[in-house]
């Protein structure tokens, strides 16, 4: 992956929020499509939110805990401004999805699907813009 990024002239941050993220989610997309086609919509929607949330919270939590333990309470992990923006926007999308579905009597609607489909490229563009602006300053 790093070699591909070097060949394409992409920064590691860009590789992480595009190619690595897409490759990590391809299997989930096909699994969720199969569940939806089988009529298991609730299981598919639960998997869409629960799987990535577990990865982010438990996976990152364990890595940061191990890093802090190995470095005597200090962690060398510093989040880039672009990653901070991406994480913040995705938290807003998650809370917005929760509130919207609650207002719609816990039903997922086509409007929500459209909003979420638009939110991804907008969020990605925001991350790229922040990375570009901060990269020019630093």
DSSP 9-41: T--HHHHIIIIIHHHHHHHHHHHHHHHHHTT-H
In this predicted structure, what is the pLDDT of residue 71?
Answer: 82
**pLDDT tens for the chain, residues 1 to 138:** 778 778 877 777 777 777 778 887 888 889 888 998 999 988 888 888 888 788 878 887 888 788 888 887 776 777 778 778 888 888 898 889 989 999 999 888 999 999 999 998 998 888 888 877 876 555
């Amino acid at each position: 992956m790093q070699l591909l990024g070097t060949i394409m002239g992409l920064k590691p941050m860009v590789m992480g929020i595009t190619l690595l993220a897409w490759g990590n989610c391809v299997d989930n997309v096909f699994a969720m499509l199969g569940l939806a086609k089988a009529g298991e919509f609730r299981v598919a929607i639960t998997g869409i939110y629960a799987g990535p949330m577990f990865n982010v919270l438990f996976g990152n939590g364990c890595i940061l805990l191990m890093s802090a333990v190995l470095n005597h309470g200090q962690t060398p992990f510093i989040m880039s401004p672009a990653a901070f923006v991406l994480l913040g926007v995705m938290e807003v999308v998650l809370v917005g999805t929760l509130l919207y579905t609650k207002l719609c009597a816990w039903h997922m609607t086509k409007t929500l699907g459209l909003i979420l489909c638009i939110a991804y490229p907008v969020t990605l563009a925001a991350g790229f813009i922040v990375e570009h602006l901060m990269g020019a300053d630093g």
